[in-house]
């Protein structure tokens, strides 16, 4: 009987510990080139995310804000366009004020009330990075999944900080 109880405790502990961490995948789409500190950036707020029939109207602002917050560690020269636009719709005059333009795109945004449903939140966001000549320099894709077991439910935007920080460390060669 003691062996059964010990095995159950061990299995329960293993399950709880394995489900209590978020996981991330990320990758650059092209060979990496490094950026210099003090470079100026323009961030375009992406269109909000959707999952099935559910819209997440603040998700675009969440992505732009998370990127801006982490980018401030490398440059004080950051501006944000509060509405979604393509690189072609940014005026030449505005482009020349910045060295690089980040245009994120939310590919997946899923808030699953993980605290009670045990279904993880999921995000997938692509960051296209352009120079001020409208040339795509690189793209960075992040995929995140929350833990299966959480004590406090968080929104999917809590999955943005770590992979954005990792992306910027790689871009600025700070690994």
| Mean pLDDT value across the chain | 84
Domains in the chain: boundaries: 22-171
Q: Which CATH code, of 1.10.760, 1.10.600, 3.30.160, 3.40.50, is assigned to 22-171?
A: 3.40.50
Q: What is the DSSP string of 15-74?
A: HHHHTSS-EEEEEESS---PPPTT--EEEEPPPPEEETTEEETTHHHHHHHHHHHHHTTT
**Res 18 pLDDT > 50:** no
Predicted model pTM? 0.82
Q: Using one digit for the tens of pLDDT, what is the confidence trace for 25-47?
A: 777 777 677 888 889 999 999 99
**Res 52 pLDDT > 90:** no
Structure confidence at residue 175 (pLDDT): 74
């Amino acid at each position: 009987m003691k062996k059964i109880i010990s095995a159950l405790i061990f299995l329960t502990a293993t399950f709880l510990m394995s489900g209590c961490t978020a996981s991330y995948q990320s990758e650059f789409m092209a060979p990496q080139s490094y950026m210099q500190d003090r470079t100026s950036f323009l961030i375009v707020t992406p269109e909000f995310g959707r999952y099935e029939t559910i819209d997440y109207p603040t998700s675009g602002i969440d992505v732009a804000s998370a990127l801006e917050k982490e980018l401030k560690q490398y440059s004080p020269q950051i501006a944000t366009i509060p509405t979604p636009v393509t690189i072609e719709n940014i005026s030449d005059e505005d482009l020349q004020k910045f060295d690089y333009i980040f245009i994120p795109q939310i590919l997946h945004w899923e808030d699953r009330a993980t605290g009670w449903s045990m279904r993880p939140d999921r995000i997938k966001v692509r960051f296209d990075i352009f120079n001020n000549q409208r040339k795509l320099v690189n793209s960075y894709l992040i995929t995140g999944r929350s833990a299966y077991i959480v004590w406090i439910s968080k929104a999917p935007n809590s999955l943005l900080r770590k992979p954005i920080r990792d992306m910027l460390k790689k871009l600025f060669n700070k690994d």
